[in-house]
């Protein structure tokens, strides 16, 4: 089962890969201030609070939190202030370490990315997961090999980047620096 040691490794990897691209001190919180590992009843309760207050309305979901929680391994409790966010992780022996990397990238995501994508509507809210998964898989080959979540979203972002270093940098800047005006050039209308 994953634990704080695994969470610290995930944080260290993300910091080593991306710290030059987000504001200094954004990652100042310690591992125990960022991650919380919960058994299913506790996880379900925390998830329902965030789902009902944020995820459901923002995504126009019709399902109840109880119908969705089985498909969620971890999530970031939303707050526009990164240092107030919290990552809740379900204690599950099947959970893979890459999930912690993915969620920590969400934790560090600039507060402008979410509203910019949700204001555009349509497929744009899904691009947040695509951007996050792209950045997750490009932290290391090890992570890329174990990640299977958000495959469609990842492939979409990966195809837009197409190996172009300037487009990769633009994705990084959209995510961590809030330079969301670059989204339109990165993801042209379909």
Q: How confident is the model at residue 189 (pLDDT cuts 50, 70, 90)?
A: low
pLDDT digit string (tens) for 145-162?
A: 999 999 999 999 999 999
How much is the pLDDT for 86? 96
* pTM for the structure as a whole: 0.94
Q: Which residue has the higher pLDDT, 7 or 188?
A: 7
Contact 104, 10 (CB under 8 A): yes
Number of independent structural domains in the chain = 1
- Residue 172 CA to residue 44 CA, distance in Å, equals 32
Of the chain, the percentage scoring pLDDT greater than 70 comes to 99
93-117 mean pLDDT: 94
- How many whole angstroms from its chain centre is CA 180? 16
Q: Which one, of 40, 41, 51, lies nearest residue 73 by Cα?
A: 40
- Of the ranges 19-28, 48-57, 105-114, which one carries the lowest mean pLDDT score? 48-57
Above 70 in pLDDT, residue 126? yes
Domain membership of residue 89 as a residue range: 4-186
pLDDT digit string (tens) for 15-26?
A: 999 999 999 999
- Residue 142 CA to residue 173 CA, distance in Å, equals 24
- Of the ranges 7-11, 122-126, 138-142, which one carries the lowest mean pLDDT score? 122-126
How much is the pLDDT for 188? 72
User: For the chain, where are the alpha helices, taking DSSP H only?
Assistant: 4-18, 31-34, 40-50, 56-59, 65-68, 98-108, 113-120, 124-137, 141-146, 151-161, 165-176, 183-186
pLDDT digit string (tens) for 1-50?
A: 999 999 999 999 999 999 999 999 999 999 999 999 999 999 999 999 99
How much is the pLDDT for 190? 58
């Amino acid at each position: 089962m994953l634990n704080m040691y695994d969470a610290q490794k995930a944080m260290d990897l993300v910091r080593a890969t991306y710290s030059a691209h987000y504001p200094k001190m954004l990652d100042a919180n310690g591992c125990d201030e960022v991650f919380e590992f919960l058994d299913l009843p506790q996880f379900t309760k925390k998830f329902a609070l965030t789902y009902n207050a944020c995820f459901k309305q923002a995504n126009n979901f019709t399902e109840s939190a109880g119908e969705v929680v089985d498909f969620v391994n971890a999530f970031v409790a939303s707050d526009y202030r990164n240092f107030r966010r919290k990552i809740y992780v379900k204690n599950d022996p099947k959970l893979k370490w890459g999930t912690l990397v993915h969620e920590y990238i969400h934790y560090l995501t600039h507060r402008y990315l979410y509203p910019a994508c949700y204001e555009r509507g349509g497929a744009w809210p899904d691009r947040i997961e695509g951007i996050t998964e792209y950045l997750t898989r490009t932290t290391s080959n090890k992570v890329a090999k174990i990640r299977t979540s958000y495959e469609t979203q990842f492939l979409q972002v990966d195809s837009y980047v197409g190996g172009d270093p300037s487009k990769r940098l633009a994705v990084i800047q959209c995510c961590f620096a809030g330079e969301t005006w670059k989204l339109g050039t990165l993801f042209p209308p379909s």
